[in-house]
Amino acid sequence: MMMPTEPESLLIGGREVAAAEVLEIRDPHDASVVGYAPAASREQARTAVDAAFRAWPAWAAIPVEDRVSCVLSALATSSQDMAQRAELLVRENGKTLSEAKLEMRVFASRFEHAAVAARELDVTERMSGPPYETTIVHVPQGVVTIIIPFNAPLAILAAALPQALMAGNTVVVKPPPSTPLAVLATLRHLVRTLPAGVLNVVSGVDDVLGPVLVGDKRVRHVCFTGSVSAGSRVMALAAQNITNVTLELGGNDAAIVLEDAQLDEAAFARLAAGAFRTSGQVCMAIKRLYVPQSMFDDVVDGMRAVLSETRVGSGLDPVVTMGPLNSRRQRDYVSALCDEAGAAGVEMMQLGELVRADPERGNHMLPRLVLAPAPRLRIVREEQFGPALPIIPFATEADAIAQANDSWAGLCSSVWSENAEHAMAVARQLRAGVTFFNNHNAAAVDDRAPFGGLQQSGIGREMGREGLLSFTETHVMSVPTATARQESA
């Protein structure tokens, strides 16, 4: 078992900078100390913005292809000590080691996808007159702040960081307060390779750093992933300087099983992973599972069979398949949603078993199926963000679609069917930014495509060409054609 690390450093202007205060990071499995993260002061946050602002003109002036090469060279250095950083992520986050290793790989692959899209920035669009010869180019915005959550900090960071850098912006990253260590350790490799000030990392307390990292007028884009309430505060603060925002604010994803779906053991495994990956703490996890009334018992039996094999404990234990929740507060919230449903007479199944885990010390929670809850219950209306899944029967497809769309959220959805044409017809009626087919959650995401939600699930898109262009401004230059000049003479 790794011993607690010495306090990490802030990464500002190409240098490692000590912070006056530290955050104690504890393992959600047993509350042991994992390490210590620097807690930046407001002045240190301002210094990070200073460094990014000074570095921006030179970085923006570098040709796109050279910027891409520079960022990919920096990425290559992050392959060092990857196994140790994956273990560190497990201990501070709670997820399993296999999930942490996958996240490390996703971090790298998203840089490669961004590089493909970034090379298109060299393409200049021209519109020939008369009356104008117009040139359209995309230029960098300036300083970008990226604020990331605890649940998949590196994967989520890589949905924005490479695009922002390759587009010619300089960046200040704020890691999550409860899970900053793997991010700091990973980005240190990039900071050492990139020009000073192009990438800066400041960890600490949200209320201390937010007014600077979001509210400083030199910050021209804030990319935030987190709760709706926190995103609303970010948007309000950014609005004071008319700062661009990209917000990914969680979801209440619906999965609809159609009557022509073929649900074998592999399909039930995908359904279970879609709901319970990272202990259900994923914005794009299945939060509501709608099934035909005629298939309800079969679906419940299939899910029960898969989830009965769940082993909950330390993510470093090789027999464990699901780790603890990241915080006691979140475990208590999910438990309260389930208790409310139980008090209303809803049947509930608690499945799997604990493995060398003490719920009094850690934040463990066995997976639960909540059977046929009423639509008004909070377990259906709210984002549980934990290992509890309502399974809801429906009478008609129209009813299922209406219930799926009856939500404040609109991040992702999925349709389960053996008929692609039928599934697509249903998908087109769903109010969601992304719809998956016969799969759900991170394993189903196409990283070449834009990602984001509708309604209160957010604003803007990450990844893909849209995600790249969101970190640029459009510059239009129009020159009168010869004919137009003659007519005006």
Q: Is the pLDDT of residue 1 over 60?
A: no
CA–CA gap between residue 391 and residue 188 (Å, rounded): 44
Q: How far is CA 136 from CA 131, 473, 476, in A?
A: 16, 10, 5
Q: How far is CA 250 from CA 160, 196, 455, in A?
A: 16, 34, 11
CB-facing half-sphere around the CA of 44: CA atoms within 13 A: 25
Instruction: Give the pairing type, strands 412-416 and 388-394.
Output: unpaired
**Phi, psi of 478, deg, nearest 5:** -115, 125
CA–CA gap between residue 105 and residue 233 (Å, rounded): 32
Categorize the per-residue pLDDT at 4 as very low, low, confident or very high, splitting at 50, 70 and 90. very low
What pLDDT is recorded for position 8? 80
**Phi, psi of 328, deg, nearest 5:** -65, -35
What pLDDT is recorded for position 122? 83
> Which CATH fold would you assign to the domain 10-250+452-475?
Aldehyde Dehydrogenase; Chain A, domain 1 (3.40.605)
CA–CA gap between residue 233 and residue 243 (Å, rounded): 13
Same fold, 10-250+452-475 and 253-408+412-444: no
Q: How far is CA 46 from CA 19, 180, 264, in A?
A: 13, 19, 55
Q: Per-residue pLDDT tens for 307-364?
A: 999 999 999 999 999 999 999 999 999 999 999 999 999 999 999 999 999 999 999 9
Instruction: Provide the CATH number for the domain formed by 253-408+412-444 in this structure.
Output: 3.40.309.10
What pLDDT is recorded for position 462? 97
Q: Per-residue pLDDT tens for 363-393?
A: 999 999 999 999 999 999 999 999 999 999 9
Q: Is the pLDDT of residue 23 over 90?
A: yes
Q: Is the pLDDT of residue 249 over 50?
A: yes
Categorize the per-residue pLDDT at 3 as very low, low, confident or very high, splitting at 50, 70 and 90. very low
CA–CA gap between residue 214 and residue 228 (Å, rounded): 16
- Where on the phi/psi map is residue 40: left (φ > 0), alpha (ψ -120 to 50), or beta? beta
**Phi, psi of 228, deg, nearest 5:** -65, -45
Indicate the domain borders of the chain: 10-250+452-475, 253-408+412-444
What pLDDT is recorded for position 20? 84
Q: Per-residue pLDDT tens for 134-187?
A: 999 999 999 999 999 999 999 999 999 999 999 999 999 999 999 999 999 999
Residue 131 contacts residue 466 (beta carbons within 8 Å): no
Q: Which residue has the higher pLDDT, 119 or 296?
A: 296
Q: What percent of the chain has pLDDT over 90?
A: 93
Residue 270 contacts residue 255 (beta carbons within 8 Å): no
What pLDDT is recorded for position 484? 55
Task: Compute and round to an integer the Cα radius of gyration of the chain.
Answer: 24
What pLDDT is recorded for position 5? 54
Categorize the per-residue pLDDT at 130 as very low, low, confident or very high, splitting at 50, 70 and 90. confident
**Phi, psi of 219, deg, nearest 5:** -80, 120
The CB density around residue 264, as the number of other CB atoms within 10 Å, is 8
Range 204-212 average pLDDT: 96
The CB density around residue 393, as the number of other CB atoms within 10 Å, is 18
Name the catalytic one among 248, 338, 383, 412: 248
What pLDDT is recorded for position 120? 84
CA–CA gap between residue 239 and residue 230 (Å, rounded): 14
From start to end of 30-174, where are the E strands? 33-39, 125-127, 132-140, 143-147, 170-174
What pLDDT is recorded for position 477? 95
**Phi, psi of 306, deg, nearest 5:** -70, -50
DSSP state of 451: B
What pLDDT is recorded for position 79? 85
Q: Give yes or no: 8 in active site.
A: no
CA–CA gap between residue 455 and residue 410 (Å, rounded): 6
Q: Is the pLDDT of residue 487 over 90?
A: no
Q: Is the pLDDT of residue 51 over 50?
A: yes
Q: Give yes or no: 383 in active site.
A: no
* pLDDT mean across residues, the chain: 95
344 contacts: CB under 8 Å, gap ≥ 6: 373, 374, 377
Structure tokens at 392: 């809801």
- Where on the phi/psi map is residue 487: left (φ > 0), alpha (ψ -120 to 50), or beta? alpha
Q: What percent of the chain has pLDDT over 70?
A: 97
Name the catalytic one among 70, 223, 283, 412: 283
**Phi, psi of 366, deg, nearest 5:** -70, 150
CA–CA gap between residue 346 and residue 399 (Å, rounded): 21
